Structure 1
Amino acid sequence: MAYVLGVDVGTTRTTAAVCRLDGTRDAEIALVVPSYLQLTEAGTFTVGEFGGEGWPATGFARRVGDAVPFSLGPETCPAEELTALLIMWMIGEVVAREGEQPRHVAVSHPAGWGPYRRGQLHGALRAVGVHDVTLVPEPFAAAENHAVRARVVPGSALAVFSLGSHAFSASVVKRAQNRTFELVNHIEGVDHHTGADFDDLLAALVRGRLGKDGRVSAAECEAAKRAFGPAVVISGVEIGVAEFVEEVRPSVDHLVATFLRAVGAVQPDAVLLVGGGCRMPVIGDALSASVDCRVLAEAAPEHSVAKGAAVAARLVVLGPDSEPDPIDTSVLVHTREASLRFPVGEAPRPDDDEFTAPPPRPPVDVSPLELPPRRVKRMASALKPAGRRSGSRSDSRDDDEDGR
């Protein structure tokens, strides 16, 4: 069956979603792997395989456009090339499962990227043989995923609260007359606590009970953080929800204050929660108390951007005018009114003329770094489909990661 593909390369995990062209507009998760590459001594790359001999690379997706490359043993590789290699591998794995090539591929990226960063990723994708691709800002993808099931009228606004394991952002998008979306405002968090920091706060509470020699399970902390009941037991220590909320309240208030600054005077129709960190009930509760609109989240908010990217790819192929208005349905919500998920719009096609020069940088006196010739073609041919994989039913380790 003909399909399109959406790929979201997060700091912790990379997710691929497919959307059928002759089926419903909803997307489904096809593959989830850790955002982890490792160059082996044999000169081949493995994907998602922790440990073993070699030189690992993580966190590269957020460093696209950085002039300083990753040093992987005998090789140096820019962040955009590592990102493109992982995307290429994801596409290949989905093609092997589906038995045919996707009609189009959409890849999400942070809303703060300008033409230079987008151009660097486009160039790296072309170098590894991925040509028919559209880059979609993450809040647009979140919004498009929502618009699949909830009617979003032209002129209305949606706010996107994104919290992953290592990144936070707040955005506002507006529905245009042509049924696409426009970015109204965006703030990228810098000094904010993210999912991994909340894990550490919970671990500190447990360690305070156990003493300095106590051993705390990081996996238990991560799982308990997002699914707090009246109390949780971690490494044999019971932590009440009120105690955890009191510990994280300053961090949550900081996140919410930044989000409200991004919203400004705009009155959004809904707040869309994106990223695995939003599974924490305290996030939804704090936002519900601060905004006068619905606060909406999917059961797995870490997958919302990948699904929305797939929906955006479908719009690129079929066009927004071919899609009927959705019938409102309901999902997990954090406020008083039941509704659904998220919407995006068709991202503009890249124009190579935009990518001729990087944005201006402040004057800094540094010694020039001579980069060796790029070897991305040789690296791409050496990429091996190794490592742990999961589809829509990912294993427990994948489910315990915040993603993004």
Structure 2
Amino acid sequence: MLIGIDLGTTNSAVAMWQANENGGEAKLVPNALGALLTPSAVSVLPDGTTLVGAAALERMGLKDGATATSFKRFMGTDRKVKLGKKEFSAEDLSALVLMALRDDVAACTGTRPTEAVITVPAYFNDRQRKATRRAGELAGLTVRRLINEPTAAALAFGLQDKAEREPFLVFDLGGGTFDVSIVEMFEGIVEVRASAGDNRLGGDDFNAALAMAVRGRLDPDGLLAKLEEPRAQALLLQAAERAKRALSEGQEAEFAVTVEDQRLSTTITTSEFEAQAEGLIRRLRDPVVRALRDSQIDAASLSEVVLVGGATRMPVVRKAITRLFGRFPNSSVHPDHAVALGAAIQGGLIARDGGLEEIRITDVCPFTLGIETAEHSARGTIQQGLFSPIIERNTPVPVSRSGIYSTMGDNQKQIEVKIYQGEAREVSGNVHLGQIKVPVPAKPAGEVSIDVRFSYDSSGLLEVDVEVPLTGARHNLLIIDEEDRKAAKDLDARRQTLAALKHHPREEAGNQALLARAERCYEEFLGDVRAVIGDRTRMFVAALDSQEPRRIADASAMLTELLDMLEANPPL
């Protein structure tokens, strides 16, 4: 059985695709308490018993409480959490949550699921994605695919009526992460145009801001200071969550905690909360601007702004979104349920359910992929450790791009191609993915070049091909999860798909024919007409060199239109 899982920072959910007479639908599976959301919390009792979900969350702030929450924020890191006598990594804790969700499905259906589609923030890097996959494996699940949370939400939103839509924005603010995606739907295709985000921004941060705003006046006698800080912080954050929910319904709320049988309380108003959260609200703007800029779509041309994630229920957030876009957002899909439903829909697509056979998803590469390079500085020295992008962020996938690099030292016998993921100018700020050592002929600096080609697909497979044109030598590196490597048949099919993309746009017959036609027309005409043909041809060549399909298509259309007009009505 294949299930869809929203592995959230604050809450998680599981859903499955069910066929019916209308084609089928995604349905959430309740947990043992009958709730559709399971808190992403793990607690260990003094006797070693492990609790997951609501029972674990209730133990937050207790004297003997050994409870972990928000561990999704540490996926892909070496950080450990000690619960009782044992240390857990973020993926260990996530695996326990995934096991609980798996068991809920088994209890509901009588069949234990063995496969899953798991959602991740669009801005999760390679390490974080691999850690999520390992968590699924630890939970006894074969992870068929990781799908970006906004993409999953777009699927849930789009399948309500399957209507074509102009570009819309998915605004996904969860408990611990924030994602923005620009999505378009047409002819059964869900196309993600751009994604951006902040992996350190979510509802938990608003709770922390609320707790900070009231701590001083809540506890003038310093009772909380007598507690161990983790326990004091847990009590404050629990109270902040309750107060935050109350502020969603009214203009003021009680903020209360109990310390050693003594109740401490104060009142917090909406205006106080908004003032305290002002810095967090400002941080919501940057990913929105980046996604719009990368997609080259103006905010005014968006058809809708779709809200996803429990934190979008806060009035302070909705008010900020309304101001930012000059319109009210769309919350027709339950913000807490959309991602899990979308994951189940993706599961139905993988299982090739008949009700979903006409739907396809195109996603983007969320981070820039490139290699480490060096360059001569103004002082004549060599500056090393610089990042040279090959596949830019928000490029539609699958994709294949290449770059040409040359030696910088005389008689250099080897080039070490180090592969990175990220946006920083220096590679030290990016994620190292792998490297290839490429032997080259010993010649003067700059006389030996290499062609480095990156090919990347939506599942995270990155194939690196390096060719030395002078010798014809070729080298290859495959960067992929070990679990994927085991599925040889599927891996071969994915590599064949990428192989079909491994050519430069200049080599395509249609583009070569258009360049030849432009050259012929350039020779036929004179004066200003010839100059215009030359300008349009240069624009087309520049577009080809960029290897960006949309830019190439636009430049090709402009050049073709000009040549058609000149040949149909040649100037006298």
* TM-score in terms of structure 1 length: 0.67
Deviates more, 1:272-281 or 1:116-125: 116-125
Counterpart residue number, 2:281: 252
How far 1:143 sits from its partner (Å)?
0.7
**Contact residue 106 and residue 313 of structure 1 kept, 8 A:** yes
Aligned partner of 1:59 among 42, 59, 70: 70
Please say if 1:284 is aligned against 2:284: no
Instruction: Name the larger-Rg structure.
Output: 2
More helix by share: 2
**Contact residue 271 and residue 296 of structure 1 kept, 8 A:** yes
Partner Cα separation in structure 2 for residue 53 and residue 210 of structure 1: 24
Look up the equivalent residue of 1:290 and give its one-letter code: L
Give the SS at the match of 1:149: coil
Q: Identify if the C-alpha distance between structure 1 residues 117 and 359 changes in structure 2 by more than 3 Å, giving closer, same or farther.
A: farther
**Contact residue 203 and residue 221 of structure 1 kept, 8 A:** no
Deviates more, 1:174-183 or 1:24-33: 174-183
How far 1:270 sits from its partner (Å)?
1.9
Residues 172-202 of structure 1, C-alpha deviations (whole Å, 9 max, x = no match)? 2344766244351312254x5x424434555
Residues 266-302 of structure 1, C-alpha deviations (whole Å, 9 max, x = no match)? 2433222122211122322332233266621247412
Q: Identify if the C-alpha distance between structure 1 residues 282 and 134 changes in structure 2 by more than 3 Å, giving closer, same or farther.
A: same
Q: Identify if the C-alpha distance between structure 1 residues 286 and 220 changes in structure 2 by more than 3 Å, giving closer, same or farther.
A: same
Deviates more, 1:208-217 or 1:62-71: 208-217
Partner Cα separation in structure 1 for residue 138 and residue 102 of structure 2: 15
Counterpart residue number, 1:173: 183
Please say if 1:186 is aligned against 2:220: no
Partner Cα separation in structure 2 for residue 85 and residue 59 of structure 1: 14
Look up the equivalent residue of 2:27 and give its one-letter code: A
Partner Cα separation in structure 2 for residue 251 and residue 363 of structure 1: 24
Q: Identify if the C-alpha distance between structure 1 residues 242 and 126 changes in structure 2 by more than 3 Å, giving closer, same or farther.
A: closer
Give the SS at the match of 1:255: helix
Give the SS at the match of 1:14: strand
Question: Counterparts in 2 of 1:3-402, with a 5 A limit?
Answer: 5-22=3-20, 24-31=24-31, 32-40=37-45, 42-48=47-53, 49=56, 50=59, 51=62, 55-102=66-113, 104-131=115-142, 133-153=144-164, 156-175=166-185, 179-182=189-192, 184-188=194-198, 190=200, 194-202=202-210, 212=220, 217-228=239-250, 231-234=251-254, 241=270, 244-245=273-274, 248-249=277-278, 251-264=280-293, 265-266=296-297, 267-291=301-325, 295-298=329-332, 300-318=334-352, 322=356, 345=361, 362=428
Look up the equivalent residue of 2:25 and give its one-letter code: R
**Contact residue 12 and residue 59 of structure 1 kept, 8 A:** yes
Look up the equivalent residue of 1:21 and give its one-letter code: A
Aligned residue pairs total 331
Partner Cα separation in structure 2 for residue 200 and residue 127 of structure 1: 31
How far 1:107 sits from its partner (Å)?
1.1
Partner Cα separation in structure 2 for residue 120 and residue 78 of structure 1: 10
Q: Identify if the C-alpha distance between structure 1 residues 65 and 300 changes in structure 2 by more than 3 Å, giving closer, same or farther.
A: same
Q: Which residues of structure 1 form unaligned runs of 5+?
A: 326-343, 349-356, 365-404
Q: Identify if the C-alpha distance between structure 1 residues 111 and 55 changes in structure 2 by more than 3 Å, giving closer, same or farther.
A: same
Give the SS at the match of 1:309: helix
Q: Identify if the C-alpha distance between structure 1 residues 243 and 55 changes in structure 2 by more than 3 Å, giving closer, same or farther.
A: closer
CA RMSD of aligned residues (A): 4.0
Partner Cα separation in structure 2 for residue 102 and residue 198 of structure 1: 36
How far 1:19 sits from its partner (Å)?
3.3
* TM-score in terms of structure 2 length: 0.49
Residues 351-387 of structure 1, C-alpha deviations (whole Å, 9 max, x = no match)? xxxxxx99577399xxxxxxxxxxxxxxxxxxxxxxx
Partner Cα separation in structure 2 for residue 203 and residue 115 of structure 1: 33
Look up the equivalent residue of 1:221 and give its one-letter code: A
Give the SS at the match of 1:296: coil
More strand by share: 2
Q: Identify if the C-alpha distance between structure 1 residues 225 and 72 changes in structure 2 by more than 3 Å, giving closer, same or farther.
A: same
How far 1:205 sits from its partner (Å)?
6.2
Partner Cα separation in structure 2 for residue 159 and residue 223 of structure 1: 25
Look up the equivalent residue of 2:162 and give its one-letter code: R
How far 1:322 sits from its partner (Å)?
3.5
Q: Which residues of structure 2 form unaligned runs of 5+?
A: 32-36, 224-235, 256-264, 365-417, 422-426, 431-572
Identity %: 26
**Contact residue 318 and residue 329 of structure 2 kept, 8 A:** yes
How far 1:244 sits from its partner (Å)?
4.7
Look up the equivalent residue of 1:67 and give its one-letter code: D
Look up the equivalent residue of 2:249 and give its one-letter code: A
